[in-house]
Chains A and B, each alone.
Chain A
Amino acid sequence: MDTQEQELEDIELFQKHVSDRFTELSSPPEDDALLSVSWLHRLLDVFLCCEAEFEAILIMDRDPSQLSKPPFDRLIPEFIERAVKALDICNAVANGVDSVRHCQKLSEIVISALDQNPLGDGHAKRAKKALLMLLSAMNLDDKEGTHVKATERSWSFGRRGVNKEQIAGHFRSLSWQVAKNWSSAKQIQSMIYNLVAPRGAEASGLPSPIYTMNVIMIFVMWALVAAIPCQERNGLPTHFPVPKQLNWAHSLIGLQEKIADEWKKKEKKGMSGLLDELQKMEKLAQSLIDFTDSFHFPGDAEKVKGAAADVSELKEIFGRMDQGLTPLQMHIREVFHRIVRSRTEFLDVLEKGSAPVL
């Protein structure tokens, strides 16, 4: 089989794999809900697999000079630029996972406060304090300039009669930021910019997998940003300009639309991450705050039972976070490294390809 045909076959296979993988992602099993920690792990795995295949097609056994000619002299540098933007997003999301961990820690306090028999007023107060901090941590607008310094937390002045919100201030540290004035939403936006599906002859050649990989990379980064609170997500684009007629893109687009719907719903209410565990935690926290607000020892038996059920659910979520968050950070780091390496490979190819023929 001649190389041209082989190439076409490889591209087709690649796109079939992409389609399959995203179809799998679209129908997760029961305990692997969309945008849960374990689902995100799978998403990252999909990325790594696709990327490996992509690199193999583009670079392996290929004459570098081929990739320096049009349209690759534009497509490859664009891809590399998007890759760099993706790196910053990886960092932002990794930071974000830390703030999710913080929520996990706070929920631990709630659990140990409420996991008492008999439950007393003191326990309820303790839980309420932690719950307020938890809700504040989850819903804090991740806009710049809204961080409440610990020192401003009213400790030193006007202590008595202070309002609860101040006590619950969650400090959003400066080093949580990727950079001043950086915005994850804008970053995604700029990655989408200029993303044009190849047409005509190009659609059946190498430009096609390049486009595919671009879309995958953008989708993965976008999903991460939607799930995990990170710097300045306000204005996150919800629409991807991917033509529906592309076969391989169906499941991906389907996923994207599903997540985008959720995002739009949430955007109105406040900015907690779409991470499944966070969402569940938020609901439980709300329910438990209502409980602790109205609790007086010994409390209504039904309500106490309900709270106990909530707590046990919270324990489960805590467990999942406890197990999954650190590996998630490591996984993101793996993706980070892979993108760095990929970028280097492509830069090398460009350099070799543009060297003057002696």
Chain B
Amino acid sequence: MDGCQSGVPTYEGDLHVVAAAHHIVKALGATKNLSDDLRKILIDLDSHLSMITSNIDSKGGRGLVDVEERLDQAERKIMRWETDPMMIWDSGPKEASDYLEAVDETGKLVDGLRGLSVHENRKQKEILHRAMNILQMAMSRLEEELIHILVRHGQQFEPKHMYSRSIRKDIVYDESFVSVEDEPIKETSSRNYSNDESGECIVDLVHADVIPDIKSIAKVMFTSNYGPEFCEAFISVQKEALEQYFSFLGTENLSIEDVLKMEWTCLSSKMNKWTWSMKIIVRVYLASEKQLCDQVLGGLGSVSSYCFLEISKATILCLLNFGEAVAMGPHRPEKLLRLLDMYETLACLLRDIDTLFSEEAGSFIQLHFHELLERLGESAIAAFEAFRVAISSNGSLYPFAGGGVHPLNKYVMNYIRMFPEYCNTLNLLLKNQHPGVADQVTEPDYGLDASLLTSCPMAYHLRSITSCLESNLHKKSQLYKDEALQHIFLMNNIHYLVQKVKGSELRLFFGDEWIRKHNAMFQQHAMNYERATWSSVVSFLKDDNPGSSSMSKSTFKERCKGFSVAFEEVYKTQTSWSIPDPELREDLRISTSLKVVLAYRTFLGRNLAYTDDKCVKHTVEHVENSLLDLFEGSSRSLRNSRRW
């Protein structure tokens, strides 16, 4: 390829040939469907042809002149922008493509001149030097343009539109088992979004129209080995945008120390926030960012995933750090549901994360995720255990006034009512635990009747929890001196237990057998109550000698008085007792009434002769009505009724 020393005609002929080849190359280059490889080949060919031209010309010096001319042209196009306050890409597509062409040309000239044989031509060196300077200037400018485009056409999306289901009611439980009102917690508004929602949601982080522009800048910069500058600019703008978005979501950085010291209500809402932010960041933002990187830098090898990693890792690690801090915290029972939320969130994002960070450089993020998932799982189990322990160890010094439903009962039942939602996760986590942990109350044998649900790990644990609760309630009932009140208490509480199970998804896990058995239990307590209270009272009204004539007046008086006193005593005491459930209360009253009123009526009826005596303090009606006052929760004393 050395310059031919031939005469003018051949030299001109060669020039023509080369020129023709040049034209062909240009024409081919303009074709649309060229592969990247083919394009590269054509570019190289182009440079070489330019070199041949200049080589052939070297004797006459005209080759270099040609090169210099081309460089001058390119320089003009490039330098004119240095004094222009406008941004090139704002000025229009033609300006932009002209500029890029000029830069491209300069790059080719540089490549070509460099590839020349080592003739040490001073002129060559000068031109090469000039070309490289111009190239540097252009690259610097392109960097500015890139940043301008990214910033100007960057877009932020509204997170609320992404996940629009209602946020779950923030149910807060605190340690002291303060009684929770029986709020009708809607089963449907359970989560802010289903964890089955798979699939990402891609948005345009940068307006779609400018993607080709960015891509073309990337191409030019990378071709001229200015890739690092491109990445530096691109990463810094995109990273900043992500972090702005992150703080826009309201998530803040917290140190581990802060999290460990945080009070529960505050922590609970942050955990909630975290699950929400995590999903949006991973499934929407990062997925979109990855796509942007691929669109702009695809075909440049590992650059795309490198940029993506640099853009996203700080934010992701920040989110993960919060999770770790939470997992480190004390294992309080009230944390359980939120921990399960966080666990489920991570679990369902695993696949997304594995896809986003699939290269080796990003594998440490995958590792972090998996580690955190495990730790959250352990934390959740520990919280679950703590829940059980808290129930068992919830001691009382004094009997619960009124014998109504104990706050512990309310707390526990309202809490476990929400467990079925987390059935799958809990089963997964509890599978490794010993099912049916040894308790004071043995597991009933459900045998062949157990459906799949009632025999899953969560069901076992639920039943063991209620067993703990029942044991505790039994202990608490022992604090009452009055045996009748013990039974009222147990009746109330077991009834409450059953109602909660029946009235929610828990019934599927506890099963019919359990419900039947516990129904029988509270009914038994009702009967025990009746016996304990009324047997002695009604005994005054018993007929010692059935069939014989009525008793003596003095006996009647005695009996009457006995009954009145006993009845009044019961009235005074038991009006302050409480049966919160209206149906239960009614049932018990009816049953009591049947016993007592009937006996009284019979008693009076048999001794009609004495009934106008002053000793009959209360009419049957009065007794009947008085019974209605029982279990109202506030102590009253019986007023004398008028004698008939």
Contacts and interface: CB of A to CB of B under 8 A. Distances in A.
B139 A126 contact: yes
A340 B239 contact: no
A309 interface: no
B255 A173 contact: no
Interface in A84-137: 84-85, 87-88, 91, 95, 98, 105-106, 108-109, 112, 118, 120-123, 125-126, 129-130, 133
B151 interface: yes
Contact of A179 (B147, B255, B260, B364): B255
A112 B314 contact: no
A155 B256 contact: no
Interface stretch (B180-188, B225-233, B492-500, B555-563): B225-233
Given A120-B132, A173-B314, A88 B255 contact: yes
A150 B136 contact: no
Contact of A91 (B128, B137, B321, B328): B321
Contacts of B315: 175
A153 interface: yes
Contact of A123 (B132, B147, B148): B132
A211 interface: no
Interface in B123-162: 125, 128-129, 132-137, 139-140, 144, 147-148, 151-152
Nearest to B312: A175
Interface string B173-201: 00000000000000000000000000000
B280 to A, nearest CB: 16
Contacts of A125: 133, 136-137, 140
Interface in B8-30: none
Nearest to A109: B228
Nearest to A125: B136
A352 interface: no
Interface string A172-206: 01111111101000000000000000000000000
A244 B317 CA distance: 41
Interface stretch (B246-254, B423-431, B507-515, B543-551): B246-254
B129 A297 contact: yes
A343 B329 CA distance: 11
A160 interface: yes
A24 B212 CA distance: 58
Interface string A160-173: 10000000000101
B147 A153 contact: yes
B258 interface: yes
Interface string B324-359: 100010000000000000000000000000000000
B443 interface: no
A221 to B, nearest CB: 13
Contact of B260 (A84, A149, A150, A178): A84
B225 A178 contact: no
A171 B255 contact: no
Interface of A is mostly: helix
A85 B259 CA distance: 12
A149 B314 contact: no
Contacts of B148: 155-156
B240 A112 contact: no
In the complex, which of the residues A123, A126, A297 has the most CB atoms of chain B within 10 Å of its own CB atom?
A: A126
Contacts of B444: none
B468 to A, nearest CB: 18
B257 interface: yes
Nearest to A169: B236
Contacts of B256: 84, 87-88, 91
A126 B228 CA distance: 11
Contact of B225 (A87, A112, A151, A173): A112
Contacts of B133: 120-122, 125
Interface in B57-104: 82-83, 85, 87
A150 B240 contact: yes
Interface residues of B, number: 49
B482 to A, nearest CB: 31
B570 interface: no
Contacts of A174: 243-244, 246-247, 253
Contacts of B225: 112
Classify chain A: how many residues form its interface, as a range.
35 or more
Nearest to B225: A112
Interface string A69-95: 000000000000000110110010001
A180 B252 contact: yes
B203 interface: no
A85 B85 contact: no
B236 A155 contact: no
A159 interface: yes
Interface string B343-380: 00000000000000000000010000000000000000
A120 B129 contact: yes
Contact of A175 (B140, B229, B237, B246): B246
A84 B135 CA distance: 53
Contacts of A126: 136, 139-140
B318 interface: yes
A246 interface: no
A155 B129 contact: no
Contact of B144 (A87, A159, A176): A159
Contact of B136 (A122, A153, A182): A122
A330 interface: yes
In the complex, which of the residues B148, B247, B253 has the most CB atoms of chain A within 10 Å of its own CB atom?
A: B253
A51 to B, nearest CB: 17
Contact of B229 (A98, A109, A156): A109
A176 B314 contact: yes
A98 to B, nearest CB: 7
The 3 closest A-B pairs by CB, nearest first: A122-B136, A122-B133, A175-B314
Interface of A: 84-85, 87-88, 91, 95, 98, 105-106, 108-109, 112, 118, 120-123, 125-126, 129-130, 133, 149-151, 153, 155-156, 159-160, 171, 173-180, 182, 297, 329-330, 340, 343-344
Given A122-B129, A178-B255, A179-B252, 5 more contacts: A88-B255, A120-B132, A125-B136, A150-B240, A171-B236
